[in-house]
Amino acid sequence: MKRLAFSLILLSSYVLCSQQVGTAAPQIGAVENDPFANFHQRWTPSMQKLFQLVRDDDGKVTHFVGAEVGTPYENDSFELGHVWYKDEDLGEFYYRYNIFSKEIELKKTHLTEEKHQALIRDPNVVLEASIGEKAYHYLTFTTDKDVHEEGYLIKLYQSNEFTLYKHLESKYTEAKPAANSMVNPTPSKFTTFSSYFLQQNNGPIKEISLKRNKFLKQLDPPSAEKMKLYFKKEKTDLSEERQLISAIVHLNKADL
């Protein structure tokens, strides 16, 4: 079963930002020069299946040179997390979520010389952060414009009835030269946007409004009544993530 699980989670070919954004991505060293060749050889056959060398068409690893302002990552540094296939823990890895390319980058070590890999996008594959209660799921969800999309959702809270997710989106803006000497040039930049989604009783995952009145209308009548009572007791700002989580936690309680 474990061998099957690993074989189903082969890493996808990693080319950050395959679409052209700004300047073209430069080529870096060929994977044949991998300084971790001996380290990889000590892995089990299953681990070698999970972490295969990543190549593009010309046999070299590429990366994207980022913008002058901002970052495409949730966090620039790699953090520890566990990769799961269904209910099977495949091990602990260092991960970094690239919001812009919609990729989770993985490394077995924290060494800068090790090239990262891209985790395959699969609903059966989940990455759980070792620190903090959050997990990354590749799921189908519905936006507030009633558009069905697929992507990574970060699970912030789960109860027997409600699950709250966070979705991150990154926008790249190209640099603009100064129109004249009186105007400063605009640097290229990444801007990150957050939205939140709620799932009730394993139903569809739908985006929620962070405005209290609109949020109440998105709930079923019993849940809306509970929330009204909660809002009367608490001056809740749903745009503040901790307060939003607290509201969903209390929504699951019967004594509201």
Q: Which of 57-61, 85-89, 159-163 has the lowest mean pLDDT?
A: 57-61
Q: What pLDDT digit, counting tens, does each position of 170-213 carry?
A: 998 888 888 888 888 888 888 999 999 999 998 999 999 999 99
d(CA 127, CA 135): 6
d(CA 12, CA 51): 10
- For 226-240, give one letter per residue: b (16+ CB within 10 A) or e: bbeebbeeeebebee
For position 254, what pLDDT does the model report? 53
| Residue 60 confidence class, pLDDT cut points 50, 70, 90 | very low
Q: What pLDDT digit, counting tens, does each position of 105-151 carry?
A: 999 998 888 888 888 888 999 999 988 788 999 999 999 999 999 99
Strand, coil or helix: 141: strand
E strands present in 72-188: 79-85, 88-98, 103-107, 117-118, 125-129, 135-142, 148-158, 162-173
d(CA 84, CA 104): 13
For position 17, what pLDDT does the model report? 38
Q: In 3D, which of 75, 116, 113 has the Cα closest to residue 94? A: 116
For position 187, what pLDDT does the model report? 86
**pTM of this prediction exceeds 0.85:** no
Q: What pLDDT digit, counting tens, does each position of 218-230 carry?
A: 999 999 999 999 9
Q: Which of 38-47, 91-100, 246-255 has the lowest mean pLDDT?
A: 38-47
